Amino acid sequence: MNTRQAINERRRPVALSASFNTGASHFAVALESGYRIYDSADGKPVKERSIGGGVGSVALLNTTRYLALVGGGQRPKAAPNKVVIWDDKQQTAAFLFTYPSHVHSVCLTKTHTAIILHNRVHLFTFAVPPRKIGQWETAANPCGLCWLGDRIIAFPGRTAGQVQIVDLATRAVSIIPAHTSPLRALALSPDGTLLATASDKGTIIRVFATANCAKMHEFRRGIDPATIFSVAISPSSSLLAVTSDKSTLHIFELQHASRPAEAAPAGGRTVSPGHLGGSPSEWETVDAEQPAESRPRWGGLANIPMMPRVFSDTYSSASTRFEMGDEPALLSQVASSSSYAQRPPKGVIGWRSDSELIVIGAGQDNRWERFRVGFGDDGQRVVFRDGWRRYLR
């Protein structure tokens, strides 16, 4: 019996990484031959570029013209210690940054460029030529954590578990002792007023006010440790989404001190599962009559004195599953694209509106998934997947 594979067997394309632009209107995918840009609304390609070599990571500006490319893959276009600011319209490099060590990630806005190394963050103006604004030391940052907003930038502090927030106008630095173990994920709200963080333990998610570094919320994702893939705050800062290697998408409710908490309308109905589609097994609900901060998951156990805090912690108001795939054979291949990658990025979240979010994953089993968030006929929060596709063909 001949069990050998055919020599000309077609190999499925691999996405080395995937990331959203500001506002999540589009996402960019790094490939062995270049990059692609997709419309987040339907997961369909907008542009496909071959640049004669592999790209390990792509950062996309809010438009689709300028990108930051870092080499990667089997035959990288550029060394992993270089950042190419690429003009897609002219199909040429606008300028180049070179460092003595590997670049872990890049953040872009219309006014600034942030380049993240293992123990340092460099900030420049987004201009030709770029002007260096400053640099800051960090604790070991293998995931390249950084979030660049219009007014502030957030990244790990010098001590594991801390976050540094730098005001872009004044260069004033604030330190938030967010966790006691190293950070695994962080995100700013669209208006820059809130910061969400998770550590490598993956059990607790905290939300802070960037103005005074006060802790606004503390949520429990679960009891068992997990690797947090992504955290993201909705456009109105009313909801927080979290994904982890448990293949679960959680939705938490946020309450600003400056605005009333979101509530279901009279009759407890904004969107019904019948309108949204899906089956009851695809979404999870809780009692919407109680404010988010007082929803006990364990009923009366939460009120018993001396009970462990897991019984009184605030859990997600809704959750569902997303597809992350199982690709152990790809680990060595993707890891060759950078010094820190251990698996293809999965569960990357992009909010398109307060009722719609997109989750994307790289690798050979690359997926685009669209989820809807709202209230059911009974007034309870619901979240479920209403569309998906493999975006590489």
Residue 11 is predicted with a pLDDT of 66
Among 228-232, 249-253, 313-317, the minimum mean pLDDT is found in 313-317
Whether 4 is covered by a domain: the verdict is: no
Average pLDDT of span 236-250: 97
Residue 292 is predicted with a pLDDT of 38
Average pLDDT of span 48-53: 94
Whether 8 is covered by a domain: the verdict is: no
The whole-angstrom separation of Cα 75 and Cα 33 is: 8
pTM of the model: 0.84
Among 40-49, 83-92, 187-196, 296-305, the minimum mean pLDDT is found in 296-305
Tokens of 33: 């031959």
Confidence at 243, pLDDT banded by 50, 70, 90? very high
| Pairwise pLDDT comparison (174 vs 292), residue with the higher score | 174
State yes or no: pLDDT of 217 exceeds 50. Answer: yes
Residue 393 is predicted with a pLDDT of 81
Contacts by residues 344-347 (CB-CB < 8 Å, ≥ 24 positions apart): 344/14, 344/15, 344/16, 344/17, 345/17, 345/18, 345/19, 345/229, 346/229, 346/243, 346/245, 347/229, 347/230, 347/243, 347/244, 347/245, 347/249, 347/322
Whether 360 is covered by a domain: the verdict is: yes
CATH code of 246's domain: 2.130.10.10
Residue 215 is predicted with a pLDDT of 97
Whether 75 is covered by a domain: the verdict is: yes
Tokens of 113: 């460029």
What are residue 152's DSSP bridge partners?
Answer: 167
State yes or no: pLDDT of 7 exceeds 90. Answer: no
| Pairwise pLDDT comparison (308 vs 232), residue with the higher score | 232
State yes or no: pLDDT of 264 exceeds 80. Answer: no
What are residue 209's DSSP bridge partners?
Answer: 194
Residue 279 is predicted with a pLDDT of 38
**Structural domain harbouring 249:** 17-389
Whether 68 is covered by a domain: the verdict is: yes
State yes or no: pLDDT of 293 exceeds 70. Answer: no
Q: Look up tokens 């590997």; give the residue.
A: 102
Question: Could you read off the pLDDT of 89-145 as tens digits, one per residue?
Answer: 999 999 999 999 999 999 999 999 999 999 999 999 999 899 999 999 999 999 999
Q: Domain tally for the chain? A: 1
Dihedral of CA atoms 302, 244, 199, 216 in degrees, nearest 10, equals: -50
Residue 289 is predicted with a pLDDT of 33
Q: Which helix (H) or strand (E) holds 276?
A: helix 273-276
Residue 149 vs residues 52, 130, 262: alpha-carbon distances, Å: 32, 18, 25
Whether 3 is covered by a domain: the verdict is: no
Residue 38 is predicted with a pLDDT of 97
Q: Look up tokens 């499925």; give the residue.
A: 12
Whether 2 is covered by a domain: the verdict is: no
Whole-number average pLDDT of the chain: 84
Question: Could you read off the pLDDT of 145-154 as tens digits, one per residue?
Answer: 999 999 999 9
Q: Look up tokens 């059990």; give the residue.
A: 203
Residue 331 is predicted with a pLDDT of 42
Tokens of 214: 């006060």
